[in-house]
Amino acid sequence: MSELEKTYNPSEIEKRLYEKWVKNGYFHAEVDRSKKPFTIVMPPPNITGQLHMGHALDNTMQDILIRMKRMQGYNALWQPGTDHAAIATEVKITEALKAQGIDKADLGREKFLERAWEWKKEYGGRIINQLKSLGSSADWDRERFTMDEGNNKAVNTVFKKLYDKGWIYKGSRIVNWCPVCQTSISDAEVIHEEQQGNFWHIKYPVVGEEGRFVEIATTRPETMLGDTAVAVNPDDERYKDIVGKMLILPLVNKEIPVIADSYVDKEFGTGCVKITPAHDPNDFEVGKRHNLPEINIMNDDATIANIGSKYDGMDRYEARRAIVEDLDKLGLLVKIEPHTHQVGTHDRCKTTVEPLIKPQWFVKMEEMARPAKEAVVSGKLRLVPERMNKVYYNWLDNIRDWCISRQLWWGHRIPAYYCQDCGETVVDFEEPHVCPKCGGTHFKQDEDTLDTWFSSALWPFSTVGWPDTDSEDFKYFFPTDVLVTGYDIIFFWVIRMVFSSIEQTGELPFHTVLFHGLVRDDQGRKMSKSLGNGIDPLEVIEKYGADALRFTLITGNAPGNDMRFYWERVEASRNFANKIWNASRFIMMNDAKKVDGNSNDAAKIGGAMPTNLTAVDRWIISKMNTLVKDVTDNMEKYELGIAADKIYNFLWEEFCDWYIEMVKPRLWDENDSTRTAALYVLKTVLVNCMKLLHPYMPFVTEEIFCSITGEESIMIQPWPVPSDSLNFAVEEKEIDVIKEAVRGVRNIRTEMNVPPSRKANVFVVSDKPAVRSIFEESSNIFEKLAFSDKVTVQADKEGIADDAVSVVIHDAVIYIPLAELVDIEKELERLNKEKARLEGEIKRGEGMLANEKFIAKAPVAKVEEEKAKLVKYKETYEQVVERINALR
């Protein structure tokens, strides 16, 4: 047994212990058929990433689960890795090149990619090192990257399989287009922000009916250049007579039809909707149903395309202003209404996203969505909390084909090759030698790369060997068990992993998804750079230690719920670590102290339980046994916050504040025959609690455990298991009676301002022999905790002074003679002085409030303050008088 330092210093122990764990290979997992596997894949953080509170929470939860399962005897693999984050990384590298005066286009694709790999090598591991400082016990020997050779093979395999099956195709559909980055982007990269805009009401003349118009309202007047129809609801009586007629499209001066479609809400606006199939996803679907032409009126940089209008070449907003002015001049602008609405912006460059019809690569989703939904409906895939099921179903029920191509250089390049002789498309793992259609030998690879989510959708199986289905790792570690992730990416990542895994492997990627919420600031706001309210986890770790941060993020945390971050809670977690550190030092110092030259070998952890355990020993062992059962059950149900609270309450209150205080007299009494039993219980309970706490606070528990046991590491110890033989219901009830009595006595002493140093005789009165027996057997404990000189247990009140104060508990009454608690004469003297002071304050207050000049001139707040003071003084005065009368 080694000695703990006097003060717990996380900065001193955390780095040392983490290096020890890594060196000894505790995180590493190999195929071992004698053990049951348990696998978690780490949601791969971006290589551009900096550890933030969301990462800290996400990885703490994963680490808690993997550490527990490791101790439970599973062959636990926590598979780590990073994501290439196509757009984010390309933006970073492009900005770095600009700072050097280098244009990306001038550099060329190959040279740019060389720079990108160099950048990845230099910065890509930063967030991994930050995760290590958090204590993450991932198998770093198996670290993967979404663009490494194995993942690239998996991506190309899936692309080819789906293409050959007809489920990947190239076509023109509406995509989210970023005019600044000039690429399509996923829904995950579109942030919808509330912006102040307008509804422009515009008149479209009816052909052949002079003076008749239909009125439409739009938030984007510039898109009217691409209108190909106006739609009304087929049940709208106002417009039934014009369905099928033609309208004049203002400014363009061409005819477009009026069509009937149930998409139109006849109760909203004018009931007439302009249809622009190339610039709105809903209009696109309407256009398909009615065979409308699709006219893209915008260039990639959001300027008006060369469509033969006076607005050609104008920026979209410049064109908007000009179009509105021209409509007004023509008398076709009815009105402008202010309108607050949600506008999609690119999360990287903050540019307003433009819905555009573009030729892109898509994945057909209808067939793959069906089994993904059935997995949750059948219960084979469990979402925690269950309310996420509704969100999951809603997205799958309304799913559209997935745009997977990006106009970027950094990423998995699409494995499609175009024959330069006949235009044939060939999808293969490498450039073909001969065109299967014309025999040509000249090919050019598609310039686009794949959406980052395409590769990360394969993460659970591509990281363990797939597409090599004979891989031992794949056969052993897949399917994985639990995915831990934020609720904000259920659509973009979770569902894609589910349908990809079912389609490619025939298996679900995991059986459970544990969703957590966002970490918000102390005002409940989302942490962001713009608000300047972000908190760096590394700063918290440096100040308070990783254990304190981890415990703060988990305590009070419920699946799927957001949480607020308070520095005070981190301090409380640090204080908790200090509490168990000091308790451990106390136990170890008493264990090291030899009595009569004899050692404490009988108190050795893991040895036979002593036969001379007292009631209080059996009480704490029974409580610990219940704690083991409850904590294990909670953690298996993913109620990590509830489990953490139970460990905290047990260690702080039951163990430190009650049991240690109860056994101190035995530890300090050289003649107490139960001293060794007390040491055995202290160490046994402490060690088991350290095992339960270890997944949450790995560093402090490792240091305490190894110091007190001399073992190599707590990580490789078995998880505690409850036993019926350790349930002592009788003793639990007995000690709970003692605790109730102690609380009552302490409350009385607090109310009467009695210092702990003042001892008092205590009488326990009960007509029940069993209750008297409890106090008789535990009189030494009760005497110490109740600050008593002597405890007398009796069946009636005989011999107890009439002025004794009393505490009523179940089946007993505790009496303390008043003279034992206070010096009555001195207390009366003090109380009479207080009475006189309060009388003066009351007289002053009543006089001030009766003064009309004061009431008239003083601020209202001052008057209210004086009224409140007077009420308080009168209440206190009544209490003092009552106390004086009682003492007399």
Binding site membership for ATP: which residues?
A: 529
Task: Yes or no: say if 145 and 82 are a contact pair by the CB < 8 Å rule.
Answer: yes
Q: How far is CA 568 from CA 64, 129, 571, in A?
A: 23, 27, 5
Tokens at 126, concatenated: 């930063």
d(CA 437, CA 435): 5
Spatial neighbors of 66 by CB under 8 A, at least 6 apart, are 38, 40, 76, 78, 137, 138
Task: Yes or no: say if 464 and 477 are a contact pair by the CB < 8 Å rule.
Answer: yes
Sign of the CA dihedral running 411, 413, 414, 420: positive
Task: Yes or no: say if 412 and 455 are a contact pair by the CB < 8 Å rule.
Answer: yes
Residue identified by tokens 């009309």 is: 852
SS3 742: helix
Q: Cite the annotated binding site by residue number.
A: 529
Polymer length of the chain: 888
Spatial neighbors of 539 by CB under 8 A, at least 6 apart, are none
Q: How far is CA 660 from CA 374, 504, 651, 679, in A?
A: 54, 58, 10, 10
DSSP E strands in 347-463: the ranges are 354-363, 382-384, 402-403, 405-406, 416-419, 425-427, 443-445, 449-450
Task: Yes or no: say if 412 and 451 are a contact pair by the CB < 8 Å rule.
Answer: no
* Cα-based torsion angle of the residue sequence 675, 679, 682, 684 in order, rounded to the nearest 10 degrees: -130
Cross-sheet strand order for the sheet of 229-232: 246-249, 254-260, 229-232, 272-275
736 beta partners: none
Alpha helix ranges (H) inside 297-360: 316-329
- Peptide linkage before 10 cis (omega within 30 of 0): no
SS (H, E, C) 45-104: CECCCCCCHHHHHHHHHHHHHHHHHHHCCCEEEEECEEECCHHHHHHHHHHHHHHCCCCH
